[in-house]
A = this chain, B = another copy of it.
């Protein structure tokens, strides 16, 4: 592999495993880890595209486009970043983990909690939750955040989050009620990934914005639910 443009946390790549005309479009995935010659992704099997990726073998060629999108902004000096992830959304915030970073991580059940060992190597401040209680707190990551945030007593908490729709909706509600700043990585169907097709928009206070170009990370203040 050739040396590549280094991504920043929260950016994503478009991958294509298919060599035929079906499936046709590339699939977007957040960058998980990287070094000079490797890119690593965490991919949850969903439909045809991810299954084709799963069936690839060492030595197969994959078509990679990226890094794309904006990535997470750095927290201001006096802010304390708090990460919130749901399921495979951990991939997006994982590169933000540093020694001691606080992470609220939830999933439907323990089988959908990924990378726990890698996470634990980086930080002990993890709040694990599962909907079915099979691991950690029984409930979702946002409920846990709401319960714990005041107790944590951190200075200027700033949320960095990625997860499924329901979690994001609850999070947005909480952050806006409490006036807490935050950055959330959004998902939308994509074709081009480079801002040309206008396929991937979400509603913001300034009208539709492209998840692949102005996003995937948006300031919570921009978002219109």
Residues of B within 8 A of A18 (CB): 20
A22 CB-CB contact with B under 8 Å: yes
Q: Once bound together, how far apart are the Cα atoms of A52 and B19, in whole Å? A: 9
Q: Once bound together, how far apart are the Cα atoms of A57 and B52, in whole Å? A: 15
**What is the chain B residue whose CB lies nearest that of A51?**
B19
Q: Which 9 interchain pairs have the tightest Cβ spacing?
A: A22-B22, A21-B22, A20-B22, A20-B20, A20-B23, A20-B48, A18-B20, A57-B57, A20-B52
Q: Once bound together, how far apart are the Cα atoms of A195 and B52, in whole Å? A: 33
Q: Once bound together, how far apart are the Cα atoms of A92 and B21, in whole Å? A: 32
Residues of B within 8 A of A48 (CB): 20
Q: Once bound together, how far apart are the Cα atoms of A142 and B190, in whole Å? A: 58
Count, chain A residues at interface, CB 8 A: 8
Q: A62 to nearest B CB, angstroms?
A: 14
Residues of B within 8 A of A21 (CB): 22
Please provide the chain A residues from 17 to 51 with a CB less than 8 Å away from any CB of chain B in the complex: 18, 20-23, 48
Given contact pairs A20-B22, A20-B23, a sample of 7 additional A-B residue pairs in the complex whose CB atoms are under 8 Å apart: A18-B20, A20-B20, A20-B48, A20-B52, A21-B22, A22-B22, A57-B57
Binary CB contact string for chain A from 149 to 174 against chain B (1 if under 8 A, 0 otherwise):
00000000000000000000000000
Please provide the chain A residues from 99 to 114 with a CB less than 8 Å away from any CB of chain B in the complex: none
**What is the chain B residue whose CB lies nearest that of A60?**
B55
Ordered by A's residue number, 9 sampled pairs between the chains whose C-beta atoms are within 8 Å are: A18-B20, A20-B20, A20-B22, A20-B23, A20-B48, A20-B52, A21-B22, A22-B22, A57-B57
Q: Once bound together, how far apart are the Cα atoms of A18 and B20, in whole Å? A: 9
**What is the chain B residue whose CB lies nearest that of A52?**
B20
**What is the chain B residue whose CB lies nearest that of A55?**
B19
Q: A127 to nearest B CB, angstroms?
A: 41
Residues of B within 8 A of A52 (CB): 20
Please provide the chain A residues from 167 to 212 with a CB less than 8 Å away from any CB of chain B in the complex: none
**What is the chain B residue whose CB lies nearest that of A24?**
B22
Residue from A18, A22, A52 whose CB has the most chain B CB atoms within 10 Å: A22
Q: Once bound together, how far apart are the Cα atoms of A52 and B21, in whole Å? A: 13
Q: A169 to nearest B CB, angstroms?
A: 34
